[in-house]
Amino acid sequence: MGSITQSHEIRVSFKDTDAMGIVWHGNYLAYFEEGREAFGDEHGISYNDIMAQGYSVPVVKSVCEHKKPLRYGDVARIETTFVNTPAAKIIYKYTIFNTDNAIVCTGETIQVFLDKEGSLILTEPEFFKNRKQKMGLL
């Protein structure tokens, strides 16, 4: 089926840390979203691109496994991998690295397509198939 990976760097903000001076665990999901947005912008499947076609893509599953902490001021690299599937869903896998290139977090999100009325779409929208073809995945 294939996959495509893209990297995106972020600097950890003070607002992202907790009383212990490390990134609060819930912020890793926000970092995953930054990775998704960067990937989508690059490959024509951003939230705006999808909404312009009359769909929304809510996250229906998220998994986050913490390995090491990030701290205020760290530069982290988010590797976002689009996992190709014939199903009408978007699967991303994530690996976040710290400044020393050590893995600090891994995860996955699954999104499904809904039409304008909020009904689940069971087949891949044509525009999405076209984007996957342009990415070399079909």
Query: What amino acid positions are annotated as catalytic residues?
Result: 18
Rounded Cα–Cα distance for residues 21 and 25 (Å): 12
Q: Is 21 helix (H, G, I), strand (E, B) or coil?
A: coil
Q: Quick one: 57 exposed, middle or buried, by C-beta within 10 A (0-12, 13-18, 19+)?
A: buried
DSSP lists the bridge partners of residue 10 as: 76
Residues 101 and 42: beta-carbon distance below 8 Å: no
